[in-house]
Structure 1
Amino acid sequence: MELRHLRYFVAVAEEGHITRAAERLGLQQPPLSLQIKAMERELDVLLFRRKARGVELTDAGRAFLEQARMTLTQMDRAMENARRAARGEQGRLCIGVTSTAPFHPLVPRSVRAFRDANPMVVLTLEECLSNEQIGRLRGNQLDVAFIRTAAAGAEDLLVTPLLAEPMVVALPDTHALARAEAPIPLRRLAQESFILYGPPGTGMYDATIAACRGAGFDPLVGSIGASTQLAPRITSTLSMVAAGLGISCVPSSLQRMTMEGVIYRALDPSDRPHALLNLATRRSDGSAVVQRFVAAVRRAARDVVG
């Protein structure tokens, strides 16, 4: 017995007439009658009583109708779920973000737009540094990741550039430049103690080092007590700034994070660093959900940049 036989049976039961059921199904009446008789032979029960003007269900037919409808409903639901999954409208998506990425409106805006358009996709977000996200992508622990690095040499990943965000300098509110109104040239900070966010190889660390070298100085990288300190998270970075332990270059969107004791000031466009924001996926990932999310982020990025 096939699913089409169940559909034939349900149509006859609902119409109470084989000819009308045949018209509804787009079949001829004789073949439909033969299919119903074949079902009765296979089940070894009488499903319908034949009447002068149609048919009516037997007790066995009524019991079979309930289960047949349930089976067809479950199959229809399974088929629709499969179609939704193939279109990327259903499934699961694990999104990696750096601790600084959500402060740029592109990230929450694109995630929210995707969620609203695809309510049957279960979203989870995980926060970690860019280099950690790349490792998790390769280990299939993340599906997509907003990263602050170009991921050079990662041939197994597909990195979509989204934007390059100007960086500002975070200063202790007691700093001599805290009240500066004009953008500050980066070279004026050559004698300052820098607090760098993340280890070497992460986007903001590398961008800051490259910009400082371009401005003619090379901040030393060391532990507490050296001229440059490392902070594992952006909150600890700003806490160290607030404590007067140094200054830090951060994405301009971080100005949304207000912290007592921290002042943000613009850097001169001539030598200021930029924080990249990219979207990374596995090059071999053919998931329709991932592709749908990437398309949504690209649309949101065009709106933000435009």
Structure 2
Amino acid sequence: MELRHLRYFLTVAEEGQFTRAAERLAMQQPPLSQQIRSLEEEIGFELFIRMPRGVTLTPAGHAFAEDAQQLLQNLQASVEKASRIARGELGTLSIGLTSSAAFHPFTTEAIRAFRAVCPEVSVELAELNAAEIIERLAAGQIQAAFLRKPVDVREGVAFELLLDEPMVVVLPLGHPLLKGDGKAARKRPQVSLKALAHEDFILVRRPGAPGMYADILAACRQAGFVPRVAREVPRMVSGINLVAAGMGVTLVPASMQRYDHVGTVYCTLTHPSGLSAPLHLAYPEALHNSAAMRFIQLVKERVSG
């Protein structure tokens, strides 16, 4: 039994006549009658009562027609659903973000824009460190990610540079390098990297953000000192909180200033330090998720536009 047999059967049932059904199906009447007879032989019972001027359904034919109609409707709905998934209008998109990448407005604006054009795609967000992101992209557990500076360039994972921004120094309120106090101390003062030579540094753990960690150490060495890394934290927000507690200083991307902790002051770095915080989009090169493809295209268009 083929789907066309069901369509033939339902058309004859609706028309109540083989001739009109054949015209509607754009075929000859004898082949249509033969197809219906073959269907009846295959299922083992008669579907129609043949009369001189037409046909009517048998009781068994009535029951078969109801189920056949439902089957075709379900099939059509399945085809439409699959088609929408293939177009990226339905499905699930899993996005990984490092904590600092999540703070940049570009990231949240891109996700919001995607949800506006694909509201029926379920978007799942996972905050991860850079190393975890690369692992999950390679394993196919997430389909796209925003991160800072990748070091583990895994085969099969693509990276697109979206933008770059400066790094800023985070000092505790009342630090000797700050001039004045209260509101005056919070007006984005300037600090040289060399002035931090004797400070305790708080950095995101090397395995989680190896690229940024290495860049900070290299910039400090270029400024003439080896930084004293007193503490390592899993997330930049944790480092800012420790700075507020007077446990040391840290450097973060400028967009992290949106985390306006009352116990800290963000300071602009003076003199070229070679420090910057790029934002990358990462995704598997072999991508079969249409929703992810649409998201990646949208992100690229927002950068180029």
Tell me the TM-score normalised to structure 2 length. Answer: 0.85
Q: How much has 1:183 moved relative to structure 2?
A: 4.0
| Rounded Cα–Cα distance in structure 2 between residues aligned with 1:181 and 1:255 | 10
Q: How much has 1:134 moved relative to structure 2?
A: 1.3
**Structure 1 unaligned blocks of 5 or more:** 222-227
Question: Partner of 1:131: helix, strand, or coil?
Answer: helix
| Rounded Cα–Cα distance in structure 2 between residues aligned with 1:42 and 1:2 | 11
Name the aligned partner's letter for residue 150 of structure 2.
Answer: A
| Rounded Cα–Cα distance in structure 2 between residues aligned with 1:128 and 1:199 | 14
| Rounded Cα–Cα distance in structure 2 between residues aligned with 1:113 and 1:20 | 52
Question: Partner of 1:107: helix, strand, or coil?
Answer: helix
Q: 1:73 to 1:105 in 2, by over 3 A?
A: same
The answer to whether the 8 A contact 2:93-2:123 is kept is yes
The answer to whether the 8 A contact 2:8-2:32 is kept is yes
The 5-angstrom pairing of residues 108-127 of structure 1 reads: 108-127=108-127
Which of 232, 246, 249 in structure 2 is aligned with 1:247? 249
Number of corresponding residues? 297
Match of 1:186 in 2: 193
Match of 1:198 in 2: 205
Which of 257, 262, 270 in structure 2 is aligned with 1:260? 262
The answer to whether the 8 A contact 2:94-2:126 is kept is yes
Name the aligned partner's letter for residue 236 of structure 2.
Answer: I
Tell me the TM-score normalised to structure 1 length. Answer: 0.85
Please state if 1:71 is matched with 2:71: yes
Question: Partner of 2:251: helix, strand, or coil?
Answer: strand
Q: How much has 1:237 moved relative to structure 2?
A: 0.6
Match of 2:182 in 1: none
The answer to whether the 8 A contact 2:244-2:264 is kept is yes
Q: 1:58 to 1:27 in 2, by over 3 A?
A: same
The answer to whether the 8 A contact 1:93-1:121 is kept is yes
Q: How much has 1:171 moved relative to structure 2?
A: 1.7
Q: 1:47 to 1:261 in 2, by over 3 A?
A: same
The answer to whether the 8 A contact 1:40-1:46 is kept is yes
Q: 1:184 to 1:147 in 2, by over 3 A?
A: same
The 5-angstrom pairing of residues 46-85 of structure 1 reads: 46-51=46-51, 53-85=53-85
Match of 2:36 in 1: 36
| Rounded Cα–Cα distance in structure 2 between residues aligned with 1:68 and 1:74 | 10
Name the aligned partner's letter for residue 221 of structure 2.
Answer: R
Question: Partner of 1:158: helix, strand, or coil?
Answer: strand
